[in-house]
A and B are shown apart, each in its own frame.
Chain A
């Protein structure tokens, strides 16, 4: 188990930006896009076999030729104002049957990532992910912030379209490696900030990306690193996803006879909201014209629909 560095560039107090798969792959798409746009160079990797079950085997003529594991790679980019290190993990380190990274292995992974950060003089770590929110998919996603220190939350407030996690109300939990990495960073006296792009709560189980949230995170990263980047290329993809969402929920509407009558009414209200809602300003904070009870029941059924039909719908896309 270990870290393999391809090179040892001299970097000026770089920040580290990390991304993994998660809800809508919002974090990893944001971080990987930024890496691509900035043409960051390969820096190293974490040897994966101690953390992951392999994802593909190649056998030819009865001989084992290759075993592929999810990659966990570091990249770097020198910028005029602030150098950056990227860490992109193709999978979170998980136990079989678990949805998010947790426990000893996840902590080990976090410590390895931070060893690289410290080796190159990083003082600040950014993680990225998704925040399910009572928003509609036609609305602009904001970036929800949690950090290892209060002053960091205040500092992030100066960037537009950012809200602290406390403004969402209730208690909040960061699941997966994004939260664990920040916890471990705090223990190692590093600054840590998690940027979470908002995704409508009814799309949390969808197998599609959610470009609006990725774009919101990217714009914030661009502001932080004082690097003007045009991310408008996300808009076309966001529009395609919007069409896919409407198509998917229209199909659910058609199959409503399978829904128990007692929740059909709530479901109808919900579908009408998803399909026909027009954004208004200021943005409402409630999840459309449905009750919390309806919401719970509807989300249960939507998850079932996503499991059954989401992947087929994606193929069409």
Chain B
């Protein structure tokens, strides 16, 4: 007997929404923080989940900072903005069935017209510079957006991501989709990259007319900048490395290592 992979909580009334997808594990915590931010600011409703048993190994449940980490795959909706948000851990097995399950809810229940995935990608850039957002789409309809919102088309051949797999499955089901890949300074990879979060949220704000208040996020960017500025003042080598990155000059392995170490020490102090 086929197992039911969904657990529905609430009925939602959507017209022809867009869906934003974010995976829990991401460089600069970009996808989880963007989806959390939108969920909080838009007061979305959690209406459905995909049950983990078929898609995640539960042989051992990890504990991080004394807190159990159990796999989650949750759908949220905000009816007045006609928007669905899906936030999930990356499955460890049955990927194709998992992605089809996501799209079953999106297509048949929510009747989405398009999907967006959010992804961070470590890059040799400084946190102070304008971020690039590269895109990959499964449909030509997104071409106009590239120009309008200053997004760039990606060129790539190599290991696929779960977002790439999702776009491929979506294309087979005639669902237009686009992945947004934003540069994350390599030394911020395990930390929150607030500037990157703001860049992507601004895009969604303009695209979907969300009326987001960015004050909190701007304060966090200022705070993080201030802390890293202080480090620059205290350590001339770090300052030199960051200045080189700001000028687009690449660092040696040793310089990269020192920058990562120092920024990690700094940001781990206060989380």
Report A's interface with B, CB cutoff 8 A: 49-51, 53-64, 67, 95-97, 105
Interface centre among A64, A67, A96, A105 (most CB of B within 10 A): A64
Binary interface encoding of chain B residues 182-196 relative to chain A, with 1 for a CB under 8 A from any of its CBs, else 0: 000000000000000
Residues of A within 8 A of B94 (CB): 105
Cβ contact within 8 Å between B165 and A59: no
Cβ contact within 8 Å between A62 and B154: yes
Query: When chains A and B are docked, how far (Å) is the Cα of A199 from the Cα of B76?
Result: 54
Cβ contact within 8 Å between B138 and A64: yes
Residue ID in chain B nearest A53 by CB atoms: B95
Residues of A within 8 A of B78 (CB): none
User: For residues 33 through 60 of chain B, which have their beta carbon under 8 Å from a beta carbon of chain A?
Assistant: 57
Residues of B within 8 A of A64 (CB): 136-138, 164, 167-168, 171
Residues of B within 8 A of A96 (CB): 57, 92-93
Q: Would you give the shortest CB distance from A137 to chain B, in whole angstroms?
A: 33
Query: When chains A and B are docked, how far (Å) is the Cα of A61 from the Cα of B169?
Result: 20
In this complex, how many residues of chain B approach chain A with their Cβ under 8 Å: the count is 32
- With A50-B96, A62-B136, A62-B153 as given contacts, are A56 and B158 in contact (CB-CB < 8 Å)? yes
New A-B pairs, 6, CB < 8 Å, besides A57-B164, A67-B164: A55-B160, A56-B157, A56-B158, A59-B154, A64-B167, A64-B171
Q: Would you call the interface of chain A mostly helix, strand, loop, or mixed?
A: loop
- With A49-B96, A95-B57, A96-B92 as given contacts, are A61 and B158 in contact (CB-CB < 8 Å)? no
Cβ contact within 8 Å between A67 and B155: no
Residue ID in chain A nearest B143 by CB atoms: A62
Residues of A within 8 A of B143 (CB): 62
A-B contact pairs, 27 of them (CB 8 A): A49-B96, A53-B95, A54-B165, A54-B168, A55-B160, A56-B157, A56-B158, A57-B156, A57-B160, A57-B161, A61-B153, A62-B136, A62-B137, A62-B142, A62-B154, A63-B136, A63-B137, A63-B138, A63-B153, A64-B138, A64-B167, A64-B168, A67-B160, A67-B168, A96-B92, A96-B93, A97-B92
Residues of A within 8 A of B136 (CB): 59, 62-64
Q: Would you give the shortest CB distance from B152 to chain A, in whole angstroms?
A: 7
Binary interface encoding of chain B residues 108-150 relative to chain A, with 1 for a CB under 8 A from any of its CBs, else 0: 0000000000000000000000000011111010110010000
- With A54-B165, A55-B160, A67-B164 as given contacts, are A60 and B95 in contact (CB-CB < 8 Å)? no
Residues of B within 8 A of A63 (CB): 136-138, 140, 153
Binary interface encoding of chain B residues 70-92 relative to chain A, with 1 for a CB under 8 A from any of its CBs, else 0: 00000000000000000000001
B159 located at the interface, meaning its Cβ lies under 8 Å from any Cβ of chain A in the complex: yes
B97 located at the interface, meaning its Cβ lies under 8 Å from any Cβ of chain A in the complex: yes
Cβ contact within 8 Å between A54 and B160: yes
Query: When chains A and B are docked, how far (Å) is the Cα of A46 from the Cα of B166?
Result: 21
Cβ contact within 8 Å between B165 and A53: yes
Query: When chains A and B are docked, how far (Å) is the Cα of A60 from the Cα of B92?
Result: 28
Q: Would you give the shortest CB distance from B180 to chain A, in whole angstroms?
A: 11
Residue ID in chain B nearest A94 by CB atoms: B93
Query: When chains A and B are docked, how far (Å) is the Cα of A53 from the Cα of B93?
Result: 9
Query: Which listed residue (A59, A97, A105) contacts B157, Cβ 8 A?
Result: A59
Q: Would you give the shortest CB distance from A8 to chain B, in whole angstroms?
A: 26
Interface centre among B57, B96, B137, B156 (most CB of A within 10 A): B96
Residues of A within 8 A of B153 (CB): 61-63
Query: When chains A and B are docked, how far (Å) is the Cα of A60 from the Cα of B140?
Result: 12
Interface centre among B93, B94, B155 (most CB of A within 10 A): B93
Residues of A within 8 A of B140 (CB): 63
Query: When chains A and B are docked, how far (Å) is the Cα of A51 from the Cα of B142?
Result: 31
Residues of B within 8 A of A49 (CB): 96, 169
- With A50-B97, A95-B93, A105-B94 as given contacts, are A58 and B168 in contact (CB-CB < 8 Å)? no
Q: Would you give the shortest CB distance from B167 to chain A, in whole angstroms?
A: 5
Query: When chains A and B are docked, how far (Å) is the Cα of A73 from the Cα of B97?
Result: 22
- With A50-B97, A96-B93 as given contacts, are A61 and B164 in contact (CB-CB < 8 Å)? no
Residues of B within 8 A of A54 (CB): 160, 164-165, 168
Query: When chains A and B are docked, how far (Å) is the Cα of A95 from the Cα of B157?
Result: 24
- With A62-B135, A105-B94 as given contacts, are A67 and B156 in contact (CB-CB < 8 Å)? no
Query: Which listed residue (B92, B93, B96, B159) contacts A56, Cβ 8 A?
Result: B159
